[in-house]
Structure 1
Amino acid sequence: MRGTIEGIAAALATNGLILRGGFRFASDEAAPASLSGAPAKSVLLVGQAGAIPWPHFRRWLERQARGIANPLDTWSREVIGAVAQEFGGRMVSPSDRPYLPFQQWAMRTEGLKPSPLGILMHPEYGLWHAYRGALLFEEEILLPEPHKTIHLCDTCADRPCLKSCPVDAYSEQGFAHQACLGHVRGARGEPCRVGGCLDRNACPYGTEHRYPPEVQAFHMAAFARL
């Protein structure tokens, strides 16, 4: 399977995506179905670091009809789905219903923990990474255990990610969705609409991987349409 994993990683890289590891489901787990319909035995997570996939996505989007719904999800399904088809896996997405436990899978795969914003904190990428899909296989794939990593939030005394939002959308009590949405849509929310979440941008880790303003504005516009 090693050659297959390398081939999958190379195929994903043509669109700026990366293979973020995976694991084997335990025999007593209620694993989702593989391509054949039998319970999957292994899962490989697909994602991004920084905004490397953005140019690939933009070129794809320019060829699509105007007003396509959920274009980033659609692009991710298309390109990851093509890799799944090539290697005999089943592609699943974080937006599939019923929702699959992508965050739990990611924590299990990479040993990450959530930040105060809910986004998993990566020791290299900080908050500037994402999971775009996963590949489910009926075969068992031998993968190394995740390395133990320092949870950077534990070393951060100031927690600027909880102090930069004008409406205190994030706090120890959780995410105030309606307060955030109302602010982003309102007259005073232009800095967020143009440059992204102020709390997220205040995090001092992984800044070299920070999404450019264009990318952050795209995601904020999608959030504001909810």
Structure 2
Amino acid sequence: MHQHQPFHPAIFNQAGLNLQAIFNLDQLPPEMLIQLDEPEKVSDKYRQLILLGHGGKAMWASLQASGIQSENPVDDFTVRTIADYFSRDFPDCGYALIYPGIRLIGLQSLGKLAGWHHSSPLKVGINAAWGTWFAYRAVVLADTNFKPTSPLQGVSPCNSCQHKVCIDHCPASALADGVLNFQKCVDYRKQPASKCKTTCLARVSCPVASDHRYCDEQIRYHYGLSMKTIEQKY
């Protein structure tokens, strides 16, 4: 059997991209492979898909230390880290970025395959290790031969949550039915006196892995971006 290449996660961990999942392309669900193969058949050029994410506060701290100043600092920091990784450790391996980019890919579907993503009333992923405080940062196709990773084990912590504090703490009552009513959320956030313009009071009230909650600056950044999108599109 052909020996696997060693996957060295140190550069990613140091950058705070501390969630990594490796899949062989030929083991992905057929519908996902079809999506990846449009508009060109990438499975003829690459063997693996690498999903990168961050959990907790480390990525934001590394980003701030990097000094990157740009319109999309999180994406630019991630792309630079990936480029540094391949140029330093695997210069002979070709790779291509699917995300961030203009191509559509089901990030939550990949997150479910990795065991990162379980359903929550907030419509964001949740797991026991990180709560809701993780995010998808990159999808990379690569001509590598790393050992595929095993899925993170566990079920949604929401299944055993008795108090449902996220529902009680939503000032828009957007979770009253146990699942996010997107329009109620948007309508409340657009109000001048909204308490959720640059945060989500329901999300920050969740006790699962609360020690990994993003710092206030990071929360304001991400929810500030989502507020701009709401103002432009809704």
- TM-score, length of structure 1 as denominator length: 0.80
How many residues align structurally? 216
Q: Secondary structure at the match of 1:30?
A: helix
In structure 1, the residue corresponding to 2:34 is in which secondary structure? coil
C-alpha distance in structure 2 between counterparts of 1:171 and 1:69, whole Å: 36
Runs of 4+ off more than 4 Å: 171-174
Deviation of the 1:144 alpha carbon: 4.4
Q: Which residue of 1 aligns with 2:206?
A: 203
Correspondence for 2:120 among 106, 115, 121:
115
Q: Which stretch of the first structure deviates more once superposed, 82-91 or 210-219?
A: 82-91
Among all aligned residue pairs of Structure 1 and Structure 2, give the percentage whose two residues are the same amino acid.
21
Matched with 1:72 is 74
Q: 2:57 aligns with which of 45, 51, 59?
A: 51
Structure 2: distance between partners of 1:75 and 1:144 = 24
Q: Which amino acid aligns with 1:214?
A: E
Alpha-carbon spacing, 1:176–1:151, altered in 2? closer, same or farther (3 Å):
closer
Q: Which letter does structure 1 place at the counterpart of 2:227?
A: A
RMSD: 2.8
Relative to the length of structure 2, the TM-score reads: 0.78
One-letter identity of the residue aligned with 1:219: H
Equivalent residue number for residue 84 of structure 2: 82
Report if the CA contact (8 A) 2:56-2:214 is conserved: yes
Deviations 1:95-125 (A, max 9, x none): 5333111111111012632211122111111
**Contact preservation (8 Å) 1:121, 1:152:** yes
Match of 2:25 in 1: 25
CA contact (8 A) 2:25 2:47 kept: yes
Distance 1:180 1:124 in 2: 27
Post-superposition CA distance 1:111-144 (Å, at most 9, x none): 6322111221111111111111122223454324
Q: Does 1:104 align with 2:106?
A: no
Q: Does 1:124 align with 2:126?
A: no
> Kindly tell me: are residues 40 and 3 of structure 1, through their superposed partners in 2, closer, same or farther at Cα, counting changes over 3 Å?
closer
Match of 1:48, SS state, is: strand
Matched, 1:219 2:197: no
- Distance in 2 (alpha carbons) for counterparts of 1:63 and 1:139: 29
CA contact (8 A) 2:5 2:144 kept: no
User: Is residue 41 from structure 1 mapped to residue 47 from structure 2 by the alignment?
Assistant: yes
Structure 1 match to 2:232 = none
Alignment correspondent of 2:191: 186
| 1:165-212 Cα distance to aligned partner (Å, 9 max, x none) | 1112345485444443343343322x4345x21111121100010111
Cα distance change of structure 1 residues 30 and 13 upon mapping to structure 2, 3 Å threshold: same
Gaps of 5+ in 1: none
- Name whichever of 112-121 and 180-189 sits farther off: 180-189
